[in-house]
Structure formats: structure tokens, C-alpha cells
Chains A and B, each alone.
Chain A
Amino acid sequence: MNAPMELARRHRLQWWEALPWIAALACFFAFPNYLAFGTQVLVTILFALSLDLVLGYAGIVTLGHAAFFGAGAYTVGMMAMHWGWNEPLSGLLAAALVAGAIGLASGLVLLRTQGLALLMLTLCTMALLEQAANMGAEWTGGFDGMPGLSFGKIFGLFGFDVLYYKSQYLYALATLLICFLAVRTLVYSSFGQSLTGIRENLLRMHAVGAPVRARQVIAYTISAALAGVAGALFAQANGYVNLAVLGLERSAGVLIVLILGGYGRLYGAFVGAIAYMLLEHLLAKAYPTAWQLGLGVTLIVVALFARNGVIGMFDALRRRFGGTRT
């Protein structure tokens, strides 16, 4: 098969791409008592997916992605707390707009730098927002956060299930599906291809006259908006927001998730979030005081033997034993 044909075929939906979603729905019926945890996993997948767009595709290294997650979470939290605006879907939209705006504004400045300087500046942006949320206690609840937020029914039909997270799980799943399809379309578009080009060879993209900076800023903004949606989902599903949504721990955690799964390959976010969170969750349950040891050893093994993450490991195995690529 010639190359253009393969490129054209590549972005068509394959039959197996329905499997994760069917599995996620099956989990809803099979594990009704685990949906609170399941909802956190879905939120983390969406957050990791947004990071994949900048880190995996555009090659923008960031340690401050929680800034946008937090901006989204605080947007819906503050709207519900101060204006009584608790309609969930418009909340998601508002969170996307606010986080996207912060992404655009900071991206215009930050993306003039690269490498370590960029890494530090993204970290600083997040720290600034965190400190602002800490100091503006009147508005944000400060360190103690905003507890007991309640949100309206989804489509006016499905109320949030405080105890079993049933509606939150399906709501998060549907939101993730829509965002995933958007990201998938984006990365296979010519815009997405040019992002990969920027990641692979910045100088050459400049040389061929591609508007490098503009594309980076656009990717950064879209990614910020998606992270904002993830943050808003987190706040709505749990009914509270506090400073931890803006912390370095969240930024670093999502980075680990993405690298573990494999970055720059769409499904890395899924595999990474599920593998990392499930492992952490089960270990912590079995050994409340010593689970970090098991998690640490696993991460070291993955870092040593699967440099491209779990998906990369499967790719390598397939190349070795499967032979042909379709």
C-alpha cells in the first residue's frame, strides 16, 4: 500500500476503538461500588489527554498543567457558590472558556521560551494561581476550600449521586468521549500533523515557513480548555474545591500517568491513568502504610524496561512477534 493511502486511512475509526468505551460501560454495571474511584480515573484520563496534546504532540514540556485544571474547578465552584449558577453543562463550558483564556494569555508569553525556562515558567504560573486562590479566601475559601457545593441535574434529568457516583460516572464518561473525539480529529488533521512537525524538528518547521508560535499557542489554549473541563468535572462530581486542585502534586501526577501510558499516542492517557491509579488504589487498600514501595518499584521497572510507556512496550512486542503492520 502506498504512503498517501495509508495516511488517509490512518485516522478512520477502527473497530477496536469501541472496546475501551464498551469496557467502561461494562464496569458501570459490574462494579457499582467502585464508581467514585472510576469517576476519578475518567477525570484523570481527560486531564492526561489534555496534557498529551501539548506534551506528546506539540512537544511543549510543562509542569504547571494543574493551573488549568484548577482554573476549571474554581470556575464552576465559584459560580455555584457566589452566583448560585449550578447548571452543570454550562459550567463545563464556562470552565473551558476561563481555562482556555488563561492558557491563551499565559501561552502568548510563556511559549517564547523553551526547555528548562519554559518548564520553570509553567511551574510559576501555577504557583501564582495557587497563591491567588490561597489569598483570595473571601472568594475561593482559601486553604479550607469550598465545601458542600451542589450542582443541578444534568439535562434537568439526572441528579448527582453523592454516595455512589452513578450519574457522575456516566456524565464523566460521556464528556470524555466527546473530548476524545475532538482531540482525535485534531491530531489527525493537518494542524495536528504540523504540531508533530514542530515537536520533531522545530528549526525545519521555521524554515518551511510554518507559523510555529501561533500553532503552539493554539494547541496550548485548546489543551488548557480541556484541562479546565477535567477540573470542572472533578469539582462537580465531588462537590468541593480546594487548593489541592492547583498543586504541583497534581501536575506531576498527571505527567507520570502520561509517561507511564506512553505520550503522543492518544490512548497513552487511558492506559497510564488506569494502570497507575488502579495499582495505587489496590496497593493502598491492601497495605495502607507501605503501598508507595510497591508503586515505586513498579515505576522503576517500567522506566527501565519500557521507555515508551506501556503502549510502547506492546508496540515493541508486536514488532518483534507480529511482523506485519496493517
Chain B
Amino acid sequence: MKKWTPASALAAAAFTACSLLAAGATAQTVKVGVVLPYTGVGAEFGQQADRGMQMFMKLNPKAFDPYKIEIIKRDSKSPSGADAKIAVQELVAQEKVDILTGFTYSPDAIASAALFTEAKKPAVIMNAGTAWITNLSPMISRVSFSMWHAGYALGEAAVKIVKAKTAVIGYTDFPPGKDSLDAFKRGFEANGGKVIDEIPMGGAGQVPDFTPFFQRAKDKKPDVFFVFVPAGDHALGVLKTYGALGMRAAGIKLIGPGDITQDIKLQAMGDNAVGLITIHHYNADLDNPANKRLVAAWKKEYGPNSTPDFMGVQAYDGMAAIAHVVTTLKGKIDPDAAINALRGWKYDSPRGPISIDPRTRDIVMNEYLSELVKKDGRLVQKNIGVITAVKDMCKELAEGRCKQ
């Protein structure tokens, strides 16, 4: 027997009113909850993703027809996971959203994973790159990347396209650095290359003096020097040291994953960066019709000096995935059907053809090898090769925590 108290009567009345309102709203529209860092250190990323989503709506105004969507934004604040989880909980409990998306930082997605499963809400991850995130909940699908996509593909490209036989690896000693090191090594050695030295180059907290590490690499005389450092000041330090030690003249090519040549930071890198070879799933200089259309519209909307980067394009594709789910399910979001609709979904993205792996619910996409060149006084990424249909090799090879 339940005791009848004024408090519970009030709560019941409020609850009924709320659910009536909610039922009225969901009859016509699909509610999408967006969790992004709109403030704090990640605000720049949040803005890119937000713009990417807006550009999708602008360039594809009929994508959701005849259904309507309502976007509800929440700030994930600091990258701790705690605030993102509360945001997800409230989007589910209070706003009754049908689909969740966003998630820039891995801890945000990791902390919220149990909620996706419990609430049975499909979640489309727009960035968070820790490889095993998709294993945490059957409701998760990812349209961004894992650290292994670029790392493994670069290992393959270093052998096949750069024609390298030996490599030295220098990495910043923190989790993404170690992931990237493992991925590159597996990809490089699986294709017949040989890693002759691995050099830890300090932590992510502050930029070290790279000279001793680079001298050690130079003395080993590898064909390529693979460097993984956090984007920003670390990357600038790497380029400066590489130039100062004359490693290019010694015939050692500098290669790395593409987040150190993020489009919005590119022009700040200076002439030292010319010749740097990176691999990534997107750069703004990609030559395909979808990308040309996006870049032109982007510059028109946000100014000639702005540019989409991989975060913007991932969010663009995230909205495309959600549009696919909404139209396939005819506006009625059943969670299992939604995830099944995403399995094997194919799309012509500004980053080229992409699809969702039916088995892992993670993205399959091209990785573009590009060299930085100077053109008309600006640094541009000249695409010199492509590795097509790259899967997350961490899950394919069942490495470490990627085991199911």
C-alpha cells in the first residue's frame, strides 16, 4: 500500500502535467540532446561542433522532412565526465530526449555510457577518441575516430606511400601518446617496416626541450621519425627543433597524426612546418564536391578566415547520421531499431565516403596522407595519398581494453 501524502499528491499532479506536455511534444518532433563543452578549455571545440551541426542543417534543409527535430543543448563544462553525465541524466529524465549526441572528451562519453544503456537511448559520439568507448554500451555509435584510425593507417602509409623501411618513434608520455605509439608500430611492422627506437619525450603538462630526444633519433638514421605530441605548443616545439637540428637535410622525414596540423591552427605554425607529413581523416583542403560546398558555405557564414576542421565535419556527419535514423524510423525512435539503422549506414561526407561498421558500431573512413606546402603565402595541406576504408584496428586486433 502506498501512503497518500500531500507531497506525493503534488508530485503526482506535477508529473501528470509534465508527461501530458511531453507526450504532446513527442508526437510531432524528435528530440535530440546535444552535450558539448560550450565553456571552459574546450569551448573552441564546442563551437566547431556546434557550427558543424548548423552547417548540416543549412546545407541540407530537407534532410529531416517530413519530421521535425528539436535540439536541446547542454554544456558539458570541464572535461571531467561528471557534468556531462548530469547533463545526459537530465536530458533523459526531464526533457525526454530520443537521441543523444555530442561528447567531445573521452571521459564525458565514458562516464555517460552506463546511462545510455540503462535509459536505452541511442548516442552518436561526435568526437571522443578513446578506442574502447564503443564497447561500453550497445547504444553507442561513433562518427568521429579512434586514436587507432590515424596511428595504424600512418604505419601502413609510411611503408606504402612514403616508402620508409625504418622508423623511430618519439611520443609524449600520456595515454593518447601510448595508444598512438602502439597503433603506429602495429601498422608499420604489419606492412614490413621496422621500428628501431622508441623515445618517451616528457609529459603532456609542459613543453620539454626536444633537442636531446631529436638528436637521439637523428643518430639512429631512420627513414621516418614518427612524433606524437599534443596539438598546440608541443607541436610548435617539435617543428622548431626539427628545423634547428637539420634533420630534413639529413633525409629524415617527420611524420605524425593530423591533429597537430588542425586546420584552425595551421597558419600559426610558420615556415618550419613545411614538409611535415601527417595523416588524418579530414583536412579543409580535401578535394571533393561535398567538402568544397561545405568550406565555401562555412567561410560565407563565419568569415573568410574561419575554416571547418575535423571536429566541425564530425558534427556535420553526426547530424547526417541522426537524420538517417529519424527518416528511416519515420520519426518514431525505437532504440534498438535506431542502432540497427546505423549499422552499415553509408554517407558521402565532406571527408569522403564513410560508413558505420555493423559489428563494432564504429566509423569506417579514409585516412588522407598530406604534406604541408606553402602556396600563395599560406600553408596548405597537399594530399599525397590515401588509405581507404580504415577501421578501428584496436577492436579488429582486440588489443588491450578493446577486447569485448
What are 13 A-B residue pairs whose CB atoms fall within 8 Å in the complex?
A36-B93, A37-B89, A37-B90, A134-B174, A143-B174, A143-B175, A164-B93, A242-B110, A242-B111, A244-B81, A244-B82, A285-B74, A289-B38
Asked if residues A145 and B110 are in contact (CB atoms below 8 Å), the reply is yes
User: Which of B112-120, B273-281, B366-374 interfaces with chain A?
Assistant: B112-120
A228 at the interface (CB under 8 A from B): no
Q: For chain B, what secondary structure do more than half of its interface residues adopt (helix, strand, loop), or is it mixed? A: helix
A220 at the interface (CB under 8 A from B): no
Asked if residues B114 and A239 are in contact (CB atoms below 8 Å), the reply is yes
Asked if residues A249 and B78 are in contact (CB atoms below 8 Å), the reply is yes
Asked if residues A163 and B89 are in contact (CB atoms below 8 Å), the reply is yes
Which of A26, A33, A134, A163 is in CB contact (< 8 Å) with B7?
A: A26
A244 vs B77: C-alpha distance in the bound complex, in angstroms?
Answer: 12
Asked if residues B86 and A36 are in contact (CB atoms below 8 Å), the reply is yes
A101 vs B39: C-alpha distance in the bound complex, in angstroms?
Answer: 37
A315 at the interface (CB under 8 A from B): no
Asked if residues B75 and A288 are in contact (CB atoms below 8 Å), the reply is yes
A144 at the interface (CB under 8 A from B): yes
Which of A30, A163, A292 is in CB contact (< 8 Å) with B10?
A: A30
B94 at the interface (CB under 8 A from A): yes
Interface string of B72-92 (1 = CB under 8 A from A): 011101111110011001101
A244 vs B93: C-alpha distance in the bound complex, in angstroms?
Answer: 25
Asked if residues A289 and B39 are in contact (CB atoms below 8 Å), the reply is yes
Which of A33, A134, A163, A240 is in CB contact (< 8 Å) with B81?
A: A240
What is the interface of chain A, defined by CB distance below 8 A to chain B? Answer: 26, 29-30, 32-34, 36-37, 40, 134, 137, 142-145, 147-148, 162-165, 234, 238-240, 242, 244, 247, 249, 284-285, 288-289, 291-292
Given contacts A30-B11, A32-B15, A240-B111, contact A145 B81 (CB under 8 A): yes
Given contacts A144-B130, A147-B114, A148-B114, contact A163 B92 (CB under 8 A): yes
Asked if residues A29 and B82 are in contact (CB atoms below 8 Å), the reply is no
A202 vs B298: C-alpha distance in the bound complex, in angstroms?
Answer: 64
B402 at the interface (CB under 8 A from A): no
Give every chain B residue within 8 A of A147 (Cβ-Cβ): 110-111, 113-114, 136
B106 at the interface (CB under 8 A from A): yes
A274 to chain B, nearest CB (A): 15
Asked if residues A29 and B7 are in contact (CB atoms below 8 Å), the reply is yes
Asked if residues B136 and A148 are in contact (CB atoms below 8 Å), the reply is yes
A192 vs B268: C-alpha distance in the bound complex, in angstroms?
Answer: 58
Residue of B nearest to A37 (CB): B86
Asked if residues A40 and B86 are in contact (CB atoms below 8 Å), the reply is yes
Asked if residues B8 and A288 are in contact (CB atoms below 8 Å), the reply is no
Interface centre among B14, B107, B118 (most CB of A within 10 A): B107
A293 to chain B, nearest CB (A): 10
A142 vs B38: C-alpha distance in the bound complex, in angstroms?
Answer: 25
Give every chain B residue within 8 A of A148 (Cβ-Cβ): 113-114, 136
Interchain residue pairs A-B with the least CB separation, the first 8: A244-B80, A33-B93, A36-B89, A162-B118, A288-B75, A289-B38, A29-B7, A147-B110
A32 vs B85: C-alpha distance in the bound complex, in angstroms?
Answer: 17
Asked if residues B15 and A144 are in contact (CB atoms below 8 Å), the reply is no
Asked if residues B110 and A30 are in contact (CB atoms below 8 Å), the reply is no
A172 vs B136: C-alpha distance in the bound complex, in angstroms?
Answer: 27
Tell me the chain B residues, 232-266 only, with Cβ under 8 Å from chain A.
Answer: none
Give every chain B residue within 8 A of A145 (Cβ-Cβ): 81, 107, 110-111
